Amino acid sequence: MRLDNKYVNKTIKEYSQSDAIGFKIDAFKESVNGGSLQDTPAIDAMYQGTSQEYADLTQALKSGKISGAEGQIAQNRLRALDQAPGVTKNFLENLYSVFDGTEEKYYDPNNNYEWALVNKIFKGAPGFGENQGYSVEMKMKEDGSQDLIAYGKPFDGGEFVVNSASLNDMLEAGIEPVSVTPDIPTDMQAVAASSGIFEDSMIEGDKLKPSALLDIDTYALRGPGGEFQFEEVQINDKQKRKFHKFDKDKILQKVDPFLRAEIAGIMENESSAVAAWNMFIGSKITGEEDAQREIDATAGDNSWSYDILPLDAKHKRDFYEGYKEYFFDNYLKAFTQNIIPEGAAGAIQEITVETTTDQLKDIGSKLNKKNQLFYDEVLNNMASKRAAAKTNE
């Protein structure tokens, strides 16, 4: 049975960081049949005995001991052995390129967990060895390709097989088994800096300086008469202050071509767009949290499955709208807040308590009611005293 991607990916990360690796769930305690020789690296095990085999086949062919169809099989095997080191080298390079994706800072746990698990087993990470029910072996096939076979209970059917030729074909076709999440924080900082809404003096490299400011004359909101519009904020119990309001639509209209260009680049690999949605856009993680986000800080129930690929028009539209909102909320909004107007409009104002006519009527009503209650109480007391006096007579 195949397990949940997010659960297993999160568990793998936790196990990798634990001092009690391999002792938390039964899946990491029970042995699984099959696998490499005990304490023997998979590659060494695959090549074990091949030197002698190569010598024996060469001698048999030269001596005429084998010929015909059997000789052709022997020649094919020799050719495979000759090519094997090159196949292994290319296979390992491809494997590690995929494994690297599982160790990325913004790795999406919605990816198929098998690759993250194979990575740990193949590299001999603590807690992912034969004592915990995991093993790995490599085999040469008759067609000259090679298989990596990982064994473990969490794999569907107890094993996971990667063929060197199949993996190479996938990568050459641009199909990534593990989707790599774009570095959205870095990309969006660059978009903000290059969008033209900030002056060059406010940009350092491909980032905005902390002191960067939006041009008030261009982007602050104005009323019908051209006057600035302000938001009034109470800054303490007795004082208030006005701050500029900014035209969000105008700002986004200015940066829209840059956002569309960035999104088009992401959409060239739609699996990366899914990863970006799951780790940033759909999760609505704030910019302050981006630098410290964890593997379980994802879009959750709002996550997209990689099974939806290729993306339809609705998902592409949702991505564009979400990307635009995420960009503004996390990389521009801060530059539109707490901007104090110049002159008297920006001065701190005292909060005065004004009493309206309705408030006066309400106060009068409450006083009249209170007076009536007092009057009624006095009358009741007097009546009680008279009744007591008659009784004494």
Residue spans per domain, the chain? 5-172, 184-343, 355-393
Region 158-170 average pLDDT: 95
pLDDT of residue 69: 87
Region 48-75 average pLDDT: 84
Paired tokens of 183: 């570095």
Residue 382: pLDDT band (50, 70, 90) is: low
pLDDT of residue 21: 31
pLDDT of residue 57: 82
Which residues fall within 8 angstroms of residue 33, CB to CB, at 6 or more apart?
Answer: 151, 158
pLDDT of residue 118: 94
Pairing of strands 203-204, 207-208: antiparallel
Q: Residue 206 above 60 pLDDT?
A: yes
Pairing of strands 230-234, 239-244: antiparallel
3-state secondary structure of 220: strand
Residue 174: pLDDT band (50, 70, 90) is: confident
| Cα 383 to Cα 376: distance, rounded to the nearest angstrom | 11
Residue 298: pLDDT band (50, 70, 90) is: low
Give CA torsion, residues 94, 100, 106, 108, to 10 deg.
50
Region 117-126 average pLDDT: 90
Residue 68: pLDDT band (50, 70, 90) is: confident
CA 140 vs CA 60, 91, 242, 263, 316: distances in Å:
21, 12, 74, 43, 43
Peptide bond preceding 224: is omega within 30 degrees of 0, i.e. cis? no
Is residue 366 classed exposed, middle or buried when 0-12, 13-18 and 19+ CB atoms within 10 A define those classes?
Answer: exposed
pLDDT of residue 34: 37
pLDDT of residue 20: 34
Which has more confidence, 211 or 161?
Answer: 161
Paired tokens of 202: 């406010």
pLDDT of residue 76: 82
* pLDDT, tens only, 218-272: 999 999 999 999 998 888 888 899 999 999 999 999 999 999 999 999 999 999 9
Paired tokens of 379: 């009358």
- Phi-psi sector, 246: left (phi>0), alpha (psi -120 to 50), beta: beta
3-state secondary structure of 388: helix
pLDDT of residue 54: 81
Phi, psi at 155, each rounded to 5°: -70, 145
Task: Name the maximum alpha-carbon separation found in the chain.
Answer: 150
Paired tokens of 274: 């899914």
pLDDT of residue 392: 62
| Cα 84 to Cα 385: distance, rounded to the nearest angstrom | 117
* H helix and E strand count, the chain: 13, 8
Mean pLDDT, the chain, integer: 81
Q: At what angle do helices 68-102 and 113-122 cross, to 10 degrees?
A: 110
Query: What residue has token string 């090519």?
Result: 83
Which has more confidence, 390 or 51?
Answer: 51
pLDDT of residue 58: 87
Q: Give, for 142, the enclosing helix (H) or strand (E).
A: none
